[in-house]
Structure 1
Amino acid sequence: MRISVLDQAPISSNQTSSQALIEALKLAKAAEDLGYARYWIAEHHDLPGLACSAPEVMLGYIGAHTDTIRIGSGAVLLPHYKPYKVAEVYNTLASLFPGRVDVGIGRAPGGSAEATNALSDHFLQNVFQMPTSVRELIHFLDDDFPHDHKYTNVSAAPVPDISPEPWLLGTSKKSALLAAEYGMAYAFGLFMSDRDGQEIINLYRENYKARKKEQKSEVILTVSVICADTVEKAEELALSHLIWKLQTEKGEGREGVPSINQAKSYPMTDQDKRSLQNMKKNIIIGDTEKVRKELCNLKETYDFDELMIVTITYDPNDRIRSYELLAEIVQQRDY
Structure 2
Amino acid sequence: MKLSILDPSPVPSGQTPGDALNQSVELARLAENLGYTRFWMTEHHDLDGIAGSVPEVTLPYIGAHTSTIRLGTGAVLLPYYKPYKVAEIHNMLATLFPGRIDLGIGRAPGGSAEAANALSDNFLQNAGKMPELTRELLQFIDDKYPSPNEHAPLSASPVPEAAPAPWMLGTSRKSAMLAAECGTAYAFAQFMSDKDGAGIVQQYRDHFIPRKLGEESRVIVAVSAVCAQTSEQAENIAYESCKWSIRKEDTSPLTQEEKKRMAEMRQHMMVGNPAEIKEQLIACQTNYGTDEIMIISTILSPEEREESYRRIAKEILQQ
Same fold, TM-score > 0.5, yes or no: yes
Partner of 1:228: 228
Task: Indicate if the aligned counterparts of 2:42 and 2:74 stay in contact, CA closer than 8 A.
Answer: yes
Partner of 1:259: none
Match runs of 1:191-270 below 5 Å: 191-247=191-247, 253=248, 255=249, 266-270=252-256
Partner of 2:175: 175
Shift of 1:148: 5.8
Match runs of 1:21-32 below 5 Å: 21-32=21-32
Shift of 1:304: 1.7
Task: Indicate if the aligned counterparts of 2:43 and 2:53 stay in contact, CA closer than 8 A.
Answer: yes
Q: Is 1:127–2:98 an aligned residue pair?
A: no
Match runs of 1:43-122 below 5 Å: 43-122=43-122
Shift of 1:296: 2.0
What TM-score comes out, normalization by structure 2 length? 0.96
- Measured on the aligned residues, the alpha-carbon RMSD in Å equals 1.7
Partner of 2:38: 38
List alignment gaps of at least 5 residues for structure 1. 248-252, 256-261
* Cα distance between partner residues in 1 of 2:55 and 2:34: 22
For residue 157 of structure 2, give the secondary structure of its aligned residue in structure 1.
coil
For residue 57 of structure 2, give the secondary structure of its aligned residue in structure 1.
helix
For residue 317 of structure 2, give the secondary structure of its aligned residue in structure 1.
helix
Q: What's the % identity of the aligned pairs?
A: 50
Deviations 1:135-160 (A, max 9, x none): 00000001012466999821000000
Partner of 2:302: 316
For residue 181 of structure 1, give the secondary structure of its aligned residue in structure 2.
helix
For residue 292 of structure 1, give the secondary structure of its aligned residue in structure 2.
helix
For residue 131 of structure 1, give the secondary structure of its aligned residue in structure 2.
helix
Q: Is 1:275–2:299 an aligned residue pair?
A: no
Task: Indicate if the aligned counterparts of 2:225 and 2:270 stay in contact, CA closer than 8 A.
Answer: yes
Instruction: In structure 2, give the amino acid aligned to 1:296.
Output: I
Shift of 1:266: 4.9
Name which of 328, 332, 335 aligns with 2:314.
328
Task: Indicate if the aligned counterparts of 1:40 and 1:72 stay in contact, CA closer than 8 A.
Answer: yes
Partner of 2:280: 294
Partner of 2:8: 8
* Cα distance between partner residues in 2 of 1:324 and 1:266: 34
* Cα distance between partner residues in 1 of 2:163 and 2:279: 37
Instruction: In structure 2, give the amino acid aligned to 1:79.
Output: P
For residue 126 of structure 2, give the secondary structure of its aligned residue in structure 1.
helix
Instruction: In structure 2, give the amino acid aligned to 1:286.
Output: G
* Cα distance between partner residues in 2 of 1:104 and 1:78: 10
* Cα distance between partner residues in 1 of 2:86 and 2:287: 35
Partner of 1:258: none
* Cα distance between partner residues in 2 of 1:306 and 1:87: 25
- Count of matched residue pairs: 319
Shift of 1:300: 2.0
* Cα distance between partner residues in 2 of 1:125 and 1:28: 36
Instruction: In structure 1, give the amino acid aligned to 2:135.
Output: R
Shift of 1:328: 1.3
* Cα distance between partner residues in 2 of 1:288 and 1:310: 16
Shift of 1:170: 0.4
Closer, same or farther in 2 for the Cα pair 1:207/1:318, shift >3 Å?
Answer: same
Closer, same or farther in 2 for the Cα pair 1:286/1:266, shift >3 Å?
Answer: farther
Instruction: In structure 2, give the amino acid aligned to 1:273.
Output: K
Task: Indicate if the aligned counterparts of 1:59 and 1:72 stay in contact, CA closer than 8 A.
Answer: yes
* Cα distance between partner residues in 2 of 1:63 and 1:114: 32
* Cα distance between partner residues in 2 of 1:282 and 1:225: 9
Partner of 2:291: 305
For residue 110 of structure 2, give the secondary structure of its aligned residue in structure 1.
coil
Task: Indicate if the aligned counterparts of 1:145 and 1:152 stay in contact, CA closer than 8 A.
Answer: no
Instruction: In structure 2, give the amino acid aligned to 1:61.
Output: Y
* Cα distance between partner residues in 2 of 1:152 and 1:69: 36
Partner of 1:157: 157
Instruction: In structure 2, give the amino acid aligned to 1:67.
Output: S
Instruction: In structure 1, give the amino acid aligned to 2:187.
Output: A
* Cα distance between partner residues in 1 of 2:174 and 2:149: 26
What TM-score comes out, normalization by structure 1 length? 0.92
